[in-house]
Structure 1
């Protein structure tokens, strides 16, 4: 029988956008927790043909330290080769805003087992850590995530583009461009808030275009707008 070994030096890799970590495949790239649900599930599949993996899971508030208001079960378990198991995620009842989405992060650490015949060898093994966005979505919010993305406003102030979100949902960019120039530092904008994105020096044009990532993890349609000055 193969066993999990502690006799190795492990290297931790953070892979926030991947839907799998080596032999373990994670069922989605983002998690939407609708408030009316008692719990939601996240399927995990061990694609390894022979070895089990150890799975550890928890949520945080975004600082990678403070635990989020969710109970994840099982928090630590062994997933055998070619087997599937779902994590169950349940809100713990803590007070959260009712007029907008809240963002947390789901952490999944996967540790590969070591074959018995390799247990005495000096080997470098990898620990994979995947972080998924977890959106807490209250009931009865006005509009949709698609509407929020479509209705973003853009204004230029000096050397920045100010992105304004008047909606109740997060907008996470799949891409943002000023003319033909990508703005790679654009990540996301929270509900009822704004962010400043640096403009490249002497970038020509007045058109801004963008796509957002949908609930299903793919890109929305492309939207365009004229950048308002000042």
Structure 2
């Protein structure tokens, strides 16, 4: 049976990266400057699925980043195997006083069986966060950064301010029982969520996601 790697027919971005036996071993990569490198594990648990895998890193403006090198950038991925991507910083462009956000892109193109006609092949593109943590910061303070978020009303709107040098990844953010999609708060930034209820106190209930993808306990704030 002859197999060849097909051209990309369809790209699918997944929140939890997994597709027909292909998956990523984690939901985010934390690059600690002190470690001088980071890794991302890839898994092919399929019985007979072969893939051509391409990997690269983008900045927040969706452009390929020149701040990191990822190896191997292209490789064949065989069934029932695992592989590890190695990520190394190759520039000093990231700030030293705060975390920086990038995105790891991993595209898996399935092999096609040349003996089968009229078969549609799908490629998957998984995107996860890469958080660069300079040596002046630490994991403990990153976990506790959620406690320092400031939530207040400004001109009738609910504003969430992150006064810390850490990226705070939000899991759920409920305003009076309604979940608002915040995603994350960059260091020293703020987001306006929605208008608060006029003349009444608003109840905010939220949690955060840690370095390992786990959710914290909920915090409740009345404003």
Note the 1:82-101 alignment, pairs <5 A. Answer: 82-101=80-99
Correspondence for 2:10: 11
* CA contact 2:5–2:51 (8 Å) conserved in 1: no
TM-score, normalised with respect to structure 1: 0.88
Q: Secondary structure at the match of 2:123?
A: strand
User: Does structure 1 residue 149 correspond to structure 2 residue 146?
Assistant: yes
CA distance in 1, matches of 2:51, 2:217: 38
Consecutive unaligned residues of structure 1, counting only runs of 5 or more, are none
Deviations 1:143-169 (A, max 9, x none): 612221122111122352110111111
RMSD, aligned CA? 2.1
CA distance in 2, matches of 1:76, 1:157: 49
* CA contact 1:4–1:114 (8 Å) conserved in 2: yes
* CA contact 1:21–1:129 (8 Å) conserved in 2: no
> Aligned residue pairs: how many?
222
Q: Closer, same or farther in 2 for the Cα pair 1:9/1:129, shift >3 Å?
A: closer
1:192 to 177, 188, 192: 188
Correspondence for 1:182: 179
User: Does structure 1 residue 104 correspond to structure 2 residue 102?
Assistant: yes
TM-score, normalised with respect to structure 2: 0.91
Q: Closer, same or farther in 2 for the Cα pair 1:54/1:12, shift >3 Å?
A: same
Correspondence for 1:173: 170
Shift of 1:20: 1.9
* CA contact 1:58–1:108 (8 Å) conserved in 2: yes
Shift of 1:2: 3.9
CA distance in 1, matches of 2:175, 2:205: 7
CA distance in 2, matches of 1:200, 1:154: 12
CA distance in 2, matches of 1:51, 1:141: 41
Q: Secondary structure at the match of 1:4?
A: strand
* CA contact 1:51–1:115 (8 Å) conserved in 2: no
CA distance in 2, matches of 1:130, 1:80: 18
Correspondence for 1:29: 27
Deviations 1:193-226 (A, max 9, x none): 1111124776964221110111110111111112
